Amino acid sequence: MLTDYHLHLRRDGAEYTAADHHSAENAAAYRAAASERGISELGVSEHIYRFTEALEIWRHPFWERFASDDLAAYCAFVREETDLRLGIEADFIPGAEDRTAELLARHDFDYVVGSVHFIRDGAVDMDDFSVWGSGRSVQEIWRRYFETVAESVRSGLFDIIAHPDLVKYWGDGARRPEGDLRRYYEPAIEAIAETKVAVEVSTAGLRKPVGELYPATPFLEMVLEAGAPIALSSDAHTPGDVGAGYEVALEVLGSLGIREIALFDRRARTLAPLGGEEAK
């Protein structure tokens, strides 16, 4: 079994509307690309900040710029017009746990992908609202990043922890501490060991400046030791990126002896043997 659960049918630009990409035709293009790559289990997880309801959780100016879609309409579209699992990518916003839980409970998702893109108001992976250059040291940003991931894990809001070392996004020496990075991972790993939440292996990092899988192999080794399962995704925003780089991910997973991946159905998790299927 191969999965791709972290998919965006919608592209990121503010110029696109939901109608541009939330069509049965676009979903079928993702399904066709997945079939070619032997991936049978697919789900869509649009960014929560695309939906007007998200402004109940957070009113960051970045969210205000993008919050235009109707969440109930998205859920109905995925359930009624596609054969994809219904997910959502929800940012962890410290202090807004109750409002986030309440919003998520209104809809019957198969899974919720939890992500940390911001430290307070500063984004780790965007030039807009960037946390870099905010006066904090690189060490402080990395420390705070993984502490926030730990909080997101313990919140219990999420089924999958997305791109767990996104803070390495830029890949340049100036935004990456020196030496062994495992000391930064430890708080997140402790929380993962306590909760056994599924941790995403994402090939998106291969397409970003860093040019590596999320998470780095040492992080993944620590997840294994912690006894938590893996969820596999590409974070594609176009059909061409569905399952992109899976050969790299499968090699790493194989070399670590990972034989199973997580599947989700109405927020219940099962494990399935990991492996590609014959292309259809």
Closest among 245, 240, 251 to 211, alpha carbons compared: 245
152: enclosing H helix or E strand: helix 138-154
Q: With contacts defined by CB under 5 A, how many residues of the chain interact with Zn ion?
A: 3
Q: What is the distance between the alpha carbons of residues 263 and 270, in angstroms, rounded to a whole number?
A: 5
Task: Please tell me whether residue 148 binds Zn ion under the rule CB under 5 A.
Answer: no
* Least distance between Zn ion and beta carbon 257 (Å): 27
* Piece of the chain touching Zn ion by CB under 5 A; list 107-115, 191-199, 242-250, 251-259: 107-115
Which CB, 100 or 115, lies closer to Zn ion? 115
Taking the complex as a whole, the smallest distance from the CB of residue 151 to Zn ion amounts, in Å, to 17
Is 123 or 256 the residue whose CB approaches Zn ion more closely?
A: 123
Torsions phi, psi of 180, nearest 5? -65, 125
Residue 203 engages Zn ion in binding (rule: CB under 5 A): no
Q: Smallest distance, Å, CB 15 to Zn ion? A: 19
- Closest to 245 in 3D by CA, of 199, 206, 200: 206
Structure tokens at 87: 């997910």
In the complex, residue closest to Zn ion by CB: 115
CB 12, min distance to Zn ion, A: 9
235 belongs to the binding site for Zn ion (CB under 5 A): yes
Per CB under 5 A, 241 contacts Zn ion:
no
Q: Does 234 bind Zn ion (CB under 5 A)?
A: no
Site string for Zn ion, 108-147 (x = CB under 5 A): -------x--------------------------------
Site for Zn ion in 77-96 (CB under 5 A): 89
Helix axes of 217-226 and 182-195: crossing angle, nearest 10 degrees: 30
Min CB(178)–Zn ion separation in Å: 26
Q: Summarize the chain as % helix, strand, coil (round to 5).
A: 40, 20, 40
C-alpha distances (whole Å) from 206 to each of 163, 173, 245, 279 are 12, 17, 7, 23
CA pair distance 193, 50, nearest whole angstrom? 32
Q: Which is nearer to Zn ion, 161 or 258 (CB)?
A: 161
The rounded Cα 19 to chain-centroid distance in angstroms is 23
Cα 26 to Cα 86: distance, rounded to the nearest angstrom: 15
Q: Nearer Cβ to Zn ion, position 234 or 277?
A: 234
- For 117, 172, 185, 189, the CA distances from 111, given in Å and listed in that order, are 19, 33, 24, 21
> In the complex with Zn ion, which residue's Cβ is closer, 161 or 274?
161
CB 111 to Zn ion: min, Å: 13
Q: Which two tokens stand for residue 76?
A: 């109905």
Does 202 engage in binding with Zn ion (CB under 5 A)? Answer: no
For Zn ion, the closer of residues 126 and 193 by Cβ is 126
Which spans of this chain sit near Zn ion (rule: CB under 5 A)?
A: 89, 115, 235
